[in-house]
Amino acid sequence: MQLTHIDRYTDIAKLISDIGLGDSISASALTADILIVPLGYNDAPYAFPQRTDELFQFCQENNLKIEILVDDDKYEEIELNSHVMRLGKIIVKDLALPLFISVLGAYIYENTRNDFDTDEVVEFVAPTEVEFEMEVIDSLQQRKSMTFKFKGEAKEFTVAAEEIKKIWDEH
């Protein structure tokens, strides 16, 4: 498992402006607790990892205020066929962090359930890896934001989640 973190500051209003979002999504993004940021890929600057829409729906169903930072007509998903669950870059307000981590853990479990059930693990199939970048921002803007990068087996997410919360709380 790899979990790294760095201090940084992202200006949400500037990010929204740089992406060039329409008025309705801009307004929604400014009030959202979680933002999914486009990764961009070659000639697709507004590309997201495959199944981003599923993560978005899952979060909405669990009462999180979430927005994908792209206008609907520019949304693209890049499908990289591998045994890696790429969740992309996510910005989370600190007040929503505990709930988001819980929901994200449930989402990862739902989509990698066989990795957790040792009776059904097939020997020649590698466990699903999960990777994401999550920036936690201070809602009151009294301290720098912090970016966490995680890459590891799905079943290692619980340990990483606790470490993320601990590091943020001590920050």
pLDDT digits (tens, 9 = 90+) for 82-96: 778 999 999 999 999
The model's pTM: 0.89
Alpha helices (H) along the chain:
12-19, 23-31, 52-61, 97-111, 113-116, 157-170
SS3 call for 13: helix
Q: Which of 21-25, 115-119, 129-133 has the lowest mean pLDDT?
A: 115-119
Domains in the chain: boundaries: 2-170
Query: Can you give the pLDDT at residue 136?
Result: 96
The arithmetic mean of pLDDT across residues 131-138, rounded, is 95
Decide if pLDDT at 50 tops 80. yes
Decide if pLDDT at 141 tops 80. no
Residues 6+ apart with CB under 8 A from 8: 135, 144, 145, 146, 147
Query: Can you give the pLDDT at residue 78?
Result: 85
Decide if pLDDT at 121 tops 60. no
Distance CA 127, CA 35 (A): 28
| DSSP symbol at 121 | -
Sequence length of the chain is 171
**4 within 8 A of 140, measured Cβ to Cβ:** no
How, if at all, do strands 84-93 and 34-37 pair? Answer: antiparallel
Q: Which has more confidence, 162 or 139?
A: 162
**84 within 8 A of 112, measured Cβ to Cβ:** no
Q: Which of 19-28, 58-67, 108-117 has the lowest mean pLDDT?
A: 108-117
The tokens of 75 are what?
């949304």
CA distances from residue 32 to 13, 14, 116, 123 in whole angstroms, order as listed: 12, 15, 32, 42
